[in-house]
Structure 1
């Protein structure tokens, strides 16, 4: 990565205005200053986050609630300890207590599944095409999973300190007040075991709490920067220090990629704690992300109705927040299988759709992924249909975003077939796109249909590799996908004669066109001959 010039973010501000109060956790700000070159990656890096052995303020934590699903429950059980506990309890004539405790803890774990900071499913971890590009942060580690694992990720730690400093200064509140609010939310996240047990077992509060503080301030300052550069330009709170703005500007692609990774998240309640003191127009921020997957942008000033957040939705983290509004809400009924259907296809190619008279169409009016399905063309007496999908501008950042949203759905949806459409919409959307391509010509056809937009993203070959790679992931069974396949099957059942005629015409369209062309030429020649004959008779 190319390094910014030293003048962008000089480490020369004074921290004297932020002298910690009596209750302030030690070591949150660096004792010494460093140059911008050291801050952004060249030279020696000094971390200001205290180690787990830092003084008497260190608190030890022994998480007990399991954090993984059923298949991982017994992997984390210490059977020797359980055996000893069983012996002790048996002496008290209560042998079922151990099982009751385990069952209760497991229930709590399942109940908080949608709020957890999940790790990637095995299916994605084992798929080498996705492992590095779509799952590993490039510049900044958010949360404990990648913190300190890669030397390259330490370069952004100083930027977090800068972001925290300006976040506090712009809030107008004492640093202790803001930090205490973050600590309260972070303790709640830890008590609920929102992070994986193995990751939290090796990190104490002396490391975890400052990490949550710095990461939350960084994300809030990023949102403020994004509001000022994303098109609105009307958020006064988005005006920030030029050095921090320079860091965000220079690393915009890497930061955007990193903060959308499934394993690079912090609980939204922690971010919300900072937003209470340093507010950002969250509705406008989310509104600008709703059409992120498409080339066509809706200018905020031209929107007929202002975007309104759903007060009933509590996001688990930033990735979950944006996925919720990008997906949207469905008005479709839950998939059902009528008695007339003895079977249903699990997939169908673009050629098969064309043969039976279902045309691919980009739903350009749709700004939400959930709006996909089979519709019937107007003016054709419902003889033919269209498979309508929201268009997609596919580049590496959007591909990564889609994979991480799909991974989130895989982690939080226990049964795709029983879940609502919204809970597996990204998986359905990706699977529908993937089933339509088998060769580069198919990708080109999607571009002709405007389902794939833009010319500055992935090439046809790269898009083909990405979409065909999705077919190896366990995306099948998602309710929205099943509903679309059901609609296609109903179309087949209800229109056998029309499909037969259309299939014949489609398969022999070249020969038919040639025949009609020849007939047209013959008719033209015959007309000319008759005209000449008529003239000769008149003479």
Structure 2
């Protein structure tokens, strides 16, 4: 694929900026073949064949060297060459695994069939994965305006802000896909990080200003943000449209943003019911790990809950098998009623047993295309970062996957979707139709089993095993309740016929339909 056409200034001359407005932009310059020896992380962009080598073992060494573009000749002997290549391959693989939660991931192939709505930005490209799309060029001009405004509102000079971004971007480059980065020079990448970070910070500041009803925002920039708000809201949630958080922070150190108000605007965005009174929201003070990017930050606070379930591996020994398929109608047949949880948090799902029945509580969801995209991209981030320990011990790490997978199991037919709506799990009449909801959840059945959904399925299985007689009674009642209602009504009518002096006879008969 050819490099993109001009999309940002590559030979940025800081001294050519006048009153915060850059001089004419030049076209991008990508590295020539002779420049491809720049080391990106631990990967060296060189591929050097050795015509003096022979033998199958040496051919394998050359294959690894060419395929990975890691290896530089010459080495003393064939054995040393093989050992060096092996060490490079293993070291890079370990580095990739160690950086799994920091990386700027591509959308996982397992759910890519959902379509471009969940992967491709509509208004603005943030980062390198989509910057070459021609339909997003208009926003590139806006980024220059946003950077000018950002500098004017910052506590530092343009040189100081730019140098801070460059310093953060030096480590950020290795977090992106190497094949994509091979086509972008170091200078172009620095400029990209600068303009994208300034744009993102100014967007965040604008959103906070609208919440606070602050009129200090630049009117022309604010007009662009407002008229394109749906597209930008969509784009900043995409997994493939993220900036490393340290790069964003390097700008916010000079141009602060009220993160509590910004994040607070999104934490309850998955359902329609909103509190009319402004409620307080506080960021965690004891977070040990910084978020990888904005999507990771928002996901953390949407998932966050006071729930602290622990995984007991011995619990599975009580069951000979465990079904991972159950619909909303099937639950109703065995006496498990769907109900909305009190916290509206995705993690707070599970079975509450009563004397003669049980309730499965879930967070409410008003499902439209925007919320579907946010949920899918949060789940995609979880898929990319899941590890065996996450699936075994950390209930928060697969919360969105658990929530979506459980809903996809419950919604197997349109009747199941209606049942979810009837009990308030799916809110409102706006958004997706029952058929669209069913199609959406059908595409998510390949999501990995999260710890939270597995615990819930174990609770359902435990209910079935320990209340066999009760579940049989519920099944009988569910299948025959219409007939039972008719029989009871007929009996009541006959009894009332033999009690003519009952003053309420006529009223009762009218109520039961006779």
Bucket of the pairwise TM-score, normalised by the shorter protein = 0.7 to 0.9
- The residue that corresponds to 1:20 in the other structure is 14
Q: In 2, Cα distance between the equivalents of 1:427 and 1:491?
A: 23
CA contact (8 A) 2:65 2:71 kept: no
Q: CA deviation at 1:91?
A: 6.0
Structure 1: any 5+ residue segments left out of the alignment? 1-17, 33-46, 68-73, 532-539
CA contact (8 A) 1:283 1:307 kept: yes
For the residue of structure 1 that corresponds to 2:292, the secondary structure is coil
CA contact (8 A) 1:356 1:500 kept: yes
CA deviations 1:209-254 (Å, max 9, x no partner) are 010011111111111111122x344xx6x83100000000000001
Q: 1:459 to 1:98 in 2, by over 3 A?
A: same
Q: In 1, Cα distance between the equivalents of 2:73 and 2:151?
A: 51
Q: 1:356 to 1:65 in 2, by over 3 A?
A: farther
Structure 2 residue 154 is the aligned partner of structure 1 residue 178 = no
Q: In 2, Cα distance between the equivalents of 1:84 and 1:480?
A: 44
Q: CA deviation at 1:122?
A: 1.4
Structure 2 residue 100 is the aligned partner of structure 1 residue 113 = yes
- The residue that corresponds to 1:314 in the other structure is 290
After TM superposition, the structure 1 stretch with the greater mean CA deviation from structure 2, 196-205 or 305-314, is 305-314
For the residue of structure 2 that corresponds to 1:96, the secondary structure is helix
- The residue that corresponds to 1:457 in the other structure is 431
CA contact (8 A) 1:61 1:204 kept: no
Q: In 1, Cα distance between the equivalents of 2:92 and 2:405?
A: 35
2:383 to 401, 407, 410: 410
1:444 to 418, 421, 437: 418
Q: 1:508 to 1:325 in 2, by over 3 A?
A: same
- The residue that corresponds to 1:499 in the other structure is 471
2:178 to 180, 197, 215: 197
2:77 to 69, 90, 96: 90
Q: CA deviation at 1:368?
A: 2.3
Q: 1:66 to 1:460 in 2, by over 3 A?
A: farther
CA RMSD of superposed structures (Å): 3.0
Q: CA deviation at 1:443?
A: 1.7
CA contact (8 A) 1:66 1:109 kept: no
- The residue that corresponds to 2:131 in the other structure is 147
Q: CA deviation at 1:169?
A: 0.3
1:384 to 353, 357, 361: 357
2:366 to 388, 393, 417: 393
Q: In 2, Cα distance between the equivalents of 1:516 and 1:451?
A: 32
After TM superposition, the structure 1 stretch with the greater mean CA deviation from structure 2, 253-262 or 77-86, is 77-86
- The residue that corresponds to 1:328 in the other structure is 304
Aligned pairs (5 A) from 1:35-184: 50-52=28-30, 61-63=38-40, 65=42, 77-79=64-66, 88-90=75-77, 95-125=82-112, 127=113, 130-148=114-132, 150-184=133-167
- The residue that corresponds to 2:333 in the other structure is 355
CA contact (8 A) 2:404 2:441 kept: yes
- The residue that corresponds to 2:23 in the other structure is 31
Q: In 2, Cα distance between the equivalents of 1:59 and 1:165?
A: 33
- The residue that corresponds to 2:320 in the other structure is 342
1:478 to 440, 447, 450: 450
For the residue of structure 2 that corresponds to 1:301, the secondary structure is coil
Q: In 2, Cα distance between the equivalents of 1:403 and 1:81?
A: 32
CA contact (8 A) 1:116 1:316 kept: yes
Q: 1:452 to 1:232 in 2, by over 3 A?
A: farther
Q: CA deviation at 1:81?
A: 8.2
Q: CA deviation at 1:259?
A: 1.1
Aligned residues: 469
Structure 2: any 5+ residue segments left out of the alignment? 1-11, 45-60, 504-514
Q: CA deviation at 1:131?
A: 2.0
2:493 to 490, 514, 521: 521
Q: In 2, Cα distance between the equivalents of 1:350 and 1:101?
A: 51
Q: CA deviation at 1:427?
A: 0.7
CA contact (8 A) 2:382 2:398 kept: yes
Structure 2 residue 191 is the aligned partner of structure 1 residue 210 = yes
Q: In 2, Cα distance between the equivalents of 1:92 and 1:438?
A: 58
CA contact (8 A) 1:361 1:387 kept: yes
Q: In 2, Cα distance between the equivalents of 1:327 and 1:220?
A: 23
CA contact (8 A) 1:290 1:368 kept: no
CA deviations 1:395-437 (Å, max 9, x no partner) are 1111111111111111110336325111111111011111111
For the residue of structure 1 that corresponds to 2:351, the secondary structure is strand
Q: CA deviation at 1:331?
A: 0.7
Q: In 1, Cα distance between the equivalents of 2:69 and 2:23?
A: 46
After TM superposition, the structure 1 stretch with the greater mean CA deviation from structure 2, 306-315 or 323-332, is 306-315
Q: In 1, Cα distance between the equivalents of 2:164 and 2:289?
A: 21
Q: 1:79 to 1:179 in 2, by over 3 A?
A: closer
CA contact (8 A) 1:117 1:266 kept: yes
